Every structure is written in structure tokens, then in C-alpha cells.
Amino acid sequence: MGSGPLPRGSGLSLSPNHGPRRNGARPELVVIHFTAMQTAEAAQARLCDPAAEVSAHWLISETGQTTQLVDEDRRAWHAGAGEWGGRDDVNSRSIGIELANDGRSPFPEPQMTALERLLKAILTRWGIPPAGVIGHSDMAPGRKMDPGPRFDWRRLALQGLSVWPVPAPAGDFAADLHAFGFPDHPHLLEVFRLRFRPWADGPLDETDRALAAGLDAAAGRA
């Protein structure tokens, strides 16, 4: 498989774990994951195993090898339970990208470069805005933590491939996160910091509140 993104609707699905998108849904989100496995080969084997009942549209190895596992027109089984923007069945509304990573290691430069190339193609192909690029942890707080604290969200935002907030006058922290898309959950502060302040600890503070208040502007909705 080549390293360039394949065209939408190619009909290629190496994994049998997929189905039709429900209720006429089309991709409006991209969900980024890490595989939490030792190698990309092991991850691909699992994502293509019918007994595992999991899959993703794309897998990117540590060296940047980019493999399409499920056609983008199809509903891959990557997001599981959770919601974004007040709506569930994220699988029907999203494209899933798995990054080969054990959950602890940095993401290598070739992998990040390949991810950026793929994201540019997907966002253009489907008209998805940068705010639609989210982490698995964002939509499933308390259940998932990928792509984790070592993932460079700001790098993507600087290229228009995600968003990064500029502090704004602090408001209602939870309300600001819900307006952006985060679900209501007791672990909301943890999941917010996992993405935007992974080095922070302690109780909710004014920096958290100011960054949360800046999310609407970052998403182009202010």
C-alpha cells in the first residue's frame, strides 16, 4: 500500500469490520486514536480481525506508512460509546485514524507528517472544519485517553488541521466546553487538560476557564 491517501469511494476495505452509515449520516468529524499496541502490524491484524469487532478507516505506522482499512463511505467501528456535540453514534458521523503508538511514546516525525497529509485530504474531501478533528478521549471522557498527553494538538492547529484556543474572558467552564462539543461528564476537567494542558494539575483554575472561553473563537463560531 502506498503512503499517499487513497481516493474517497475506492471501495477498498481490508477490514471486514464495517457497515453502512446510519440514517444517511456523512463524515463531519475525524477521530484520532492511538493503537496501544507494540507494532503497526499487530494493530492492523487486530483491526482486520472479525472476532475483534473493531476497525478504523486509516492506520498510520511509526514510519508514516498510511494504510486504508475501511472505505471512508462506510461506518468503521472505532469510536464506541460516547458523544460529540450532543449527538451519539459517532461512528456514523466520523472517520477514524489510528496512530501506531503504545500510549506512552512520542509520535515520530514521519508519522505526524503522514497524519497531516492525510488530514488535509480528508478535510478537503468531506468539507470538515478544523474543529471537527477530535481525540477519542474528547468524545469518551473517563473511558478513553487516546491520543494522549504526548500528542501535539497545537502543531495540527497551526496548520489549520485542528483548533487551539487563545485565552478569552473566563466564563462558565462546563458550558463553554459543552458549546464546543464535549459531552457532560464528571471527568470534563481531566479530558480538557489532556488535550489543551496535559502538564497541569490541581483544581480548575482561571487558565482553564480562559482557554475554555476561547474555544468558540478558535472554532470560528464567535
Domain extent for 207: 167-222
Query: In this structure, are 157 and 214 located in the same domain?
Result: no
**Is residue 132 domain-resident?**
yes
> Is residue 190 flagged as an active site residue?
no
pLDDT of the residue at 2: 42
Query: In this structure, are 81 and 113 located in the same domain?
Result: yes
Work out whether the CA dihedral 8, 55, 146, 105 comes out positive or negative. Answer: negative
> What does the pLDDT average to over 36-58?
97
CB atoms within 10 A of CB 187: 13
Query: In this structure, are 71 and 90 located in the same domain?
Result: yes
Query: In this structure, are 213 and 140 located in the same domain?
Result: no
* Confidence bin at 72 (pLDDT 50/70/90): very high
The percent of residues in the chain predicted with pLDDT above 70, rounded, is 94
Mean pLDDT score of the chain, rounded to an integer?
A: 94
Helix (H, G, I), strand (E, B) or coil at 94: strand
Please state the φ and ψ torsions of residue 74, each to the nearest 5 degrees. -100, 160
- Buried/exposed code over 24-56 (b: 16+ C-beta within 10 A; e: otherwise): ebebbbbbbbbbbbeebeebbebbbeeeeebbb
pLDDT of the residue at 25: 96
Q: In the chain, how many domains are there?
A: 2
Query: In this structure, are 193 and 124 located in the same domain?
Result: no
pLDDT of the residue at 219: 86
Which entry of 98, 116, 190, 206 is annotated as an active-site residue?
A: 98
> CB-based burial of residue 157 (10 Å sphere; 0-12 exposed, 13-18 middle, 19+ buried)?
middle
Phi-psi region of 82 (alpha: psi -120 to 50; beta: other; left: phi over 0): left
Query: In this structure, are 105 and 125 located in the same domain?
Result: yes
Helix (H, G, I), strand (E, B) or coil at 9: coil
| pLDDT beyond 80 at 10 | no
> CB-based burial of residue 82 (10 Å sphere; 0-12 exposed, 13-18 middle, 19+ buried)?
buried
* Confidence bin at 220 (pLDDT 50/70/90): confident
Pick the closest to residue 30 from 147, 142, 143, 113 (CA basis).
Answer: 147
| pLDDT beyond 80 at 66 | yes
* Confidence bin at 13 (pLDDT 50/70/90): confident
Instruction: Quote the CA–CA distance of 84 and 180 in Å, as a whole number.
Output: 9
| pLDDT beyond 60 at 207 | yes
Please state the φ and ψ torsions of residue 94, each to the nearest 5 degrees. -140, 165
**Is residue 3 domain-resident?**
no
* Confidence bin at 4 (pLDDT 50/70/90): low
Query: In this structure, are 137 and 32 located in the same domain?
Result: yes
**Is residue 18 domain-resident?**
no
Tens digit of each residue's pLDDT (9 = 90 or more) over 98-149:
999 999 999 999 999 999 999 999 999 999 999 999 999 999 999 999 999 9
Tens digit of each residue's pLDDT (9 = 90 or more) over 138-176:
999 999 999 999 999 999 999 999 999 999 999 999 999
Query: In this structure, are 131 and 28 located in the same domain?
Result: yes
